């Protein structure tokens, strides 16, 4: 029986571990899975260090969604030799644009000054992160709102600071030779498919690019079956490569 490598999952902005639930439910029993939060520090360097400290010694597979993708790339910077596989979902490798940084700063300033409540910020985000066909999905909308409440205004502020201060990670990608998956929703407004196409083009040739139809930014929750299928295909490549490296 092929041994499986441990798996580290990193949630996105205003998300907790539940953003990965559809993927986790699809995993066969027996894989060691760690979900490390992305709201506990205001730099991707600190978030990556916390995630690494939660992992057992040795190599592991790594998957980051949205903001978690920025942290995942920093994990690669800090511990690239340990990465047995990399999955980047609805994210990008570029540093924040000036416009994006200014938007983040305005939201943080509005929260700190009382100009907007956190509930108002959450409500303004929702239409942008899901495909219009999911706009009436009450279960999805309630989950997004509850995850945001769990992160809270202070956690959201830390996340925004981490995102706006992150370094460009494109130079890392060509050296990441482990099996890779790059996935995004076709209608993702937050991290458009062009960013995924760029990352897939910079990764070595066996990286798989998956663009999920009828899907916005929240791919794991909007199209869970399609994401799980791609994820399991990626993990099979990860396990096979790890087994071969061990001589199995």
The two structure tokens encoding residue 66: 């949205």
Q: Is the pLDDT of residue 2 over 70?
A: no
Mean pLDDT of 70-85: 97
Structural domains in the chain?
Answer: 1-248 (3.40.50.1820)
Query: How many CA within 13 A on the CB side of residue 240?
Result: 8
User: Which of 177, 204, 223 is closest to 22 using CA atoms?
Assistant: 223
79-131 pLDDT per residue, tens: 999 999 999 999 999 999 999 999 999 999 999 998 889 999 899 889 999 99
pLDDT of residue 216: 98
Mean pLDDT of 28-39: 96
Mean pLDDT of 25-48: 97
Average per-residue pLDDT in the chain? 95
Query: How many CA within 13 A on the CB side of residue 239?
Result: 17
Residue owning tokens 């994820």: 231
Mean pLDDT of 197-220: 96
Mean pLDDT of 30-57: 97
Band the pLDDT of 248: cuts 50, 70, 90.
low
pLDDT of residue 3: 77
User: Which of 2, 57, 29 is closest to 243 using CA atoms?
Assistant: 2
Give the span between the Cα atoms of 168 and 152, in whole angstroms: 27
The two structure tokens encoding residue 15: 């998300």
Report yes or no: 220 and 227 within 8 Å, Cβ to Cβ.
yes
The two structure tokens encoding residue 162: 């981490």
Q: Is the pLDDT of residue 34 over 80?
A: yes
3-state secondary structure 66-110: CHHHHHHHHHHHHHHHHEEEEEEECCCCCCCCHHHHHHHHHHHHH
Q: Is the pLDDT of residue 1 over 50?
A: no
- Residue 157's SS3 state is helix
pLDDT of residue 148: 96
Give the span between the Cα atoms of 78 and 238, in whole angstroms: 20
Least confident span in 9-18, 36-45, 70-79, 110-119? 110-119
Band the pLDDT of 246: cuts 50, 70, 90.
confident
Least confident span in 79-83, 205-209, 233-237? 205-209
User: Which of 209, 184, 91, 93 is closest to 131 using CA atoms?
Assistant: 184
141-181 pLDDT per residue, tens: 999 999 999 999 999 999 999 999 999 999 999 999 999 99
CB within 8 A of 217, min separation 6: which ones? 66, 90, 128, 129, 130, 185, 188, 189, 190, 191
Put residue 103 in one of left, alpha, beta given phi > 0 → left and psi -120 to 50 → alpha.
alpha
* C-alpha angle 176-17-227 in degrees, rounded to nearest 5: 60
Give the span between the Cα atoms of 148 and 13, in whole angstroms: 8
Mean pLDDT of 213-238: 98
pLDDT of residue 172: 97
Give the span between the Cα atoms of 181 and 212, in whole angstroms: 13
Give the span between the Cα atoms of 234 and 227, in whole angstroms: 11
């Amino acid at each position: 029986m092929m041994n499986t490598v441990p798996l580290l999952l990193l949630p996105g902005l205003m998300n907790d571990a539940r953003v990965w639930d559809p993927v986790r439910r699809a995993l066969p029993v027996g894989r060691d899975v760690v979900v490390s939060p992305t709201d506990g520090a205001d730099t991707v360097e600190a978030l990556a260090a916390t995630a690494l400290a939660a992992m057992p010694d040795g190599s592991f597979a790594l998957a980051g969604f949205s903001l978690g993708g920025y942290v995942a790339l920093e994990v690669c910077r800090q511990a690239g030799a340990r990465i047995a596989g990399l999955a980047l979902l609805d994210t990008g490798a570029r540093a924040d644009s000036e416009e994006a940084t200014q938007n983040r700063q305005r939201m943080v300033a509005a929260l700190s000054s009382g100009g907007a409540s956190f509930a108002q910020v959450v409500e303004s985000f929702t239409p942008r992160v899901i495909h219009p066909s999911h706009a009436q999905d009450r279960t999805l909308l309630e989950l997004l709102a509850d995850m945001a409440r769990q992160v809270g205004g202070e956690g959201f502020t830390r996340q925004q600071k981490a995102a706006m201060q992150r370094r460009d990670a494109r130079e890392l990608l060509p050296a990441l030779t482990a099996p890779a998956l790059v996935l995004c929703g076709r209608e993702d407004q937050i991290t458009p498919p062009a960013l995924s196409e760029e990352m897939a083009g910079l990764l070595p040739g066996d990286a798989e690019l998956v663009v999920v139809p009828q899907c916005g930014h929240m791919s794991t929750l909007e199209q869970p079956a399609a994401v799980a299928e791609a994820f399991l295909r990626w993990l099979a490549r990860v396990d096979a490569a790890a087994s071969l490296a061990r001589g199995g």
